[in-house]
Amino acid sequence: MLSHWQPLEEKYVEILHLFGDSEGSAYSIHNLLQAGKTYGLSPGSWVGPYAMCRTWETLARSKREETGNADVSPAMAIYVVSGDEDGERGGAPVLCIEDIVKHCSGLSKGEVDWTPVVFLVPLVLGLDKINSRYLPLLAATFSFPQSLGILGGRPGASTYIIGVQDDKAFYLDPHEVQPVVDIKMDKLDVDTSSYHCNTVRHFPLDSIDPSLAIGFYCRDKSDFDDFCIRASELVDQSNGAPLFTITATRSSATSVEYNDRLTSDTGVPELDSFDAGAPGESDGSSRPEDEWQLL
């Protein structure tokens, strides 16, 4: 029985090691701060979701480009879905299918057909308070099998929102000082309890900070196709103000609806156009990233 569980335990420790408290851990707070200098990250600073998402994207790309060290080069991409002018001047976040297909297929280097990808979608859905028209859409994203939850919280207190029920948002709160744990692959009996949150809390969904980021994970091409179909259906339910939209190519002039009819040559879906509004257009909440309420 021990030999049966040993590989799983080793994988668990390997994952924790990526987030250890040293520069030798790929996604440590030390490396995160280093990667985020361009976006204003520094010890003790406050940061908005857009800057945080871009920092994760930068860090993942730099680690992926490193060669000769599989421990710090996981086969996964992080892709930030943003709007006009790279999301820095408002506009509806747009996921371009052509870009994703090229990005994930190119990273595979022939070893697999598709590189797993994490999508991060930073949003501003109001000024001091979230626009209530977006609440049903946010809640619906948790029904996606690709959902990773929401990086958000209440004003001044960032949390990790993992689910919703009725009008409540359930979250994990990481704001508790923990002793440093030395995670090593040759030390599997280390106490890892501080890497987990034993208490699930909740608050009213309508009190969520309007500055937030949604996360999704697509493990393969089939998973991505399913995600696009679900996202398109969510757009149809948005009454002209979707959380984000989808286009077939960069040259597409309008947002488009995804369906499962793929072309035989490129693998880029054939899409039908529709008109959709951008988050913030109806309530005047679109504003520069540096004016976001910081979490």
| Structure-model confidence comparison of residues 277 and 88, the more confident one | 88
Give, in order, the Cα–Cα distances in Å from 149 to each of 103, 120, 124, 205.
23, 10, 16, 13
Give the C-alpha separation, 74 to 193, whole Å: 24
pLDDT at 178: 78
Taking the domains of the chain in order of start, what are their residue ranges?
Answer: 2-177+185-291
Confidence of residue 42 (pLDDT cuts 50, 70, 90): confident
Q: What is the pLDDT of residues 205-264, one digit of tens each?
A: 999 999 999 999 999 889 999 999 999 999 999 988 999 998 888 765 444 444 433 333
Q: Can you tell me the mean pLDDT for 182-190?
A: 71
Average pLDDT in the chain = 76
Helices 97-107, 221-236: inter-axial angle, 10-degree rounding:
160
Q: Check the CA dihedral 154-145-135-200 and report its sign.
A: negative
Contact assessment for residue 294 and residue 46, using Cβ atoms and an 8 Å cutoff: yes
Tens digit of pLDDT for each residue in 116-172? 999 999 999 998 899 999 999 999 999 999 999 999 888 778 889 999 999 999 998
pTM: 0.77
Cα 119–chain centre separation: 4
- How much is the pLDDT for 108? 54
pLDDT in tens, 51-68: 999 999 999 888 877 744
Distance (Å, whole) CA 106 – CA 110? 8
- Min mean pLDDT across 73-87, 116-130, 148-162, 184-198 is at 73-87
